[in-house]
Structure formats: structure tokens, C-alpha cells
Amino acid sequence: MWTEPSGSRIAELAGDIRDLNHVLTHTQVSTERATLLRVYAQLAAFMAFDLAESSSARACWRSWRAARLAADASGDRELSVWVRAGEASQSFYLRRLGPAAETLVEEAVHLADGRPCLGLAEALKTRGRILATHGRVDLAREALDGFRDVYERLPASVTNDHISVWGMPLEGVQYAEAFVLTMMGDGGAAAPMLEHALASCPQEKAGGRANIGLLQAWGLVQGREVSEGLGHALDITASLPVTAARRKIVREIVTALPEKARTLPAARELHALTAGDRPT
């Protein structure tokens, strides 16, 4: 999934969900329904990811709600954790912070009940970002420690998966840790992590590599290497769609600029990418 352009799957997913709804309506056997509900939850979550980039936020949250309900009805607890973690992550990028995002994280952590799974790692990653946003540095670092601990207990089938949505390889962990460190103003500590992450990230994951590059640009701006940071950010945003994640990082880059640099043409061009960007 992570190698395809954002928004490219909506029509196909809508058709699959419609067909699956029809099958569910005519399926009474509980084991068969549970399997179908698991698939429905995954499809609804994938739809929500795409709707965030190409439709209204309201449609995105409706799709996430459908994914949560289906996952819970299926009885697959790990899937319920993963869906909530995904919605919390998207809430962070779309600035739907506060009780909504924090409740999703807490629900995911509670449902995981300490069992290492992809969803728990994703939830702790987002918890660190939310805490860093609020300037709660010690708690953000604590969340990162918990995130790393869960990652180290994940099965190899997850940590060795460098491509799919079901994987969390080391480069993803390094990117996640670097994101929080950069949010806390420690771009210097994040820099070597990002170098390693970029070196390991598969070439076909163009979006992931772009996000790493934008985080590097943010660190450069923090370190007052303004021209290099702005140029790097512009090169990246010129070649790929500006997704919610990239828009979030671009907004942070612009915010980190010294006052005098905000009138530079490159800064104005980046700022234009966040035009109309409002909390949802």
C-alpha cells in the first residue's frame, strides 16, 4: 500500500467495500462473518487513509469509525488496536488533537494490554508526537522508550517487512524517533537517525523517503542552515503530492524559520503549501 500514490485507491476500495457489504448481509455463520468483518475493517481503514488526502475530513473520520466498529465486531483485538492507532496518527497529522486523538491512543494501549503488536507500537509513536507538541518533553521521551521496547519485541515478520502497511522495519523506528526529537528541538540528535533511515528505506517507497528528507530539511532550518533546508524542502515537495504528513512537516519548517527568513521566496512558496490548512 505504501508504494502507491495517495488517493489512488478510493474508487477501487469503494467497490470492494460495497461488494463486501452485500456478502455480509447474506452471511450468518459467525466464523465467516468474523473473517469478513476483519477484511471490512482493513478496507475501511485504507479508505480513511486515502480520504484524508482527497476528500473532506468528515468523510475520513466516518470511514475510521466504520473501521473501528468492524474491527471490534470481528473480535480481532490486535486489529482493533491497529485501527485506533491509525486513526490517532491521522488525527495528529490533520491537527485533530485534544481528547479525540488522546482517547484513541489510550484505547489502543488499553486494548493491547501490554502485548507487543504493530498497533501498540504505532499508538506509542503517536503518543510521543502528541506529548512533544504540548512541550511535555520528559513524557515524550518516556513514550519513545516504550515505543522502542515494543518494537524490540515484535515478531520478525513485522520488523523485516520494509514495504507493506503491516511492517515496522528499523528505518521506520528511526524516522519515528527522529520526528519526536526534531519536534523537541533536537534536530542534531535526529540527523544520524535520518541518515540511516534514508539509506535503508526502499527506493520504491518514494513517499516514505520524501518524509525522511523533509524531516532532514526541518533539522537544517533548526540548525540555522536556512537556505539549504528550504532548498531541500522545495526539491522534495516539487516532485510529490503534499500529503497530510508532508503538510505537517512543511508547516513546522516554516514555523522554525527565523523571522527575517520568512519573507524569502522559498519560504513563501512553502507556506503556500499549507494554505487553507486548518485543524479538523
Q: For position 28, what pLDDT does the model report?
A: 87
User: Does residue 72 lie in a domain region?
Assistant: no
User: Does residue 233 lie in a domain region?
Assistant: yes
Contacts of residue 243, Cβ cutoff 8 Å, sequence gap at least 6: 6, 53, 207
Q: For position 4, what pLDDT does the model report?
A: 60
Buried b (16+ CB within 10 A) or exposed e, 53-79: beeebeebbebbebbbbbbbebebbeb
Q: For position 168, what pLDDT does the model report?
A: 98
- Report pTM: 0.92
Q: For position 58, what pLDDT does the model report?
A: 87
**SS3 annotation, 6-65:** CCCCHHHHHHHHHHHHHHHHCCCCHHHHHHHHHHHHHHHHHHHHHHHHHCCHHHHHHHHH
User: Does residue 149 lie in a domain region?
Assistant: no
Q: For position 274, what pLDDT does the model report?
A: 84
Q: For position 163, what pLDDT does the model report?
A: 95
Task: Check residue 154 and report its DSSP letter.
Answer: S
Domain carrying residue 204:
184-280
User: Does residue 164 lie in a domain region?
Assistant: no
Q: For position 211, what pLDDT does the model report?
A: 97
Total structural domains in the chain? 1
User: Does residue 200 lie in a domain region?
Assistant: yes
Q: For position 241, what pLDDT does the model report?
A: 85
Per-residue pLDDT of the chain (280 residues; tens, 9 = 90+): 545 655 568 889 999 999 999 999 989 899 999 999 999 999 999 999 999 877 678 899 999 999 999 999 999 999 999 999 999 999 999 988 778 899 999 999 999 999 999 999 999 999 999 999 999 999 999 999 999 999 999 999 999 999 999 999 999 999 999 999 999 999 999 999 999 999 999 999 999 999 999 999 999 999 999 999 999 999 999 988 888 899 999 999 999 999 999 999 999 999 998 875 555 5
Q: For position 55, what pLDDT does the model report?
A: 62
Q: For position 8, what pLDDT does the model report?
A: 66
User: Does residue 98 lie in a domain region?
Assistant: no
User: Does residue 34 lie in a domain region?
Assistant: no
Q: For position 278, what pLDDT does the model report?
A: 53
User: Does residue 270 lie in a domain region?
Assistant: yes
Tell me how many degrees the CA angle 141-146-148 measures, rounded to the nearest 5: 95
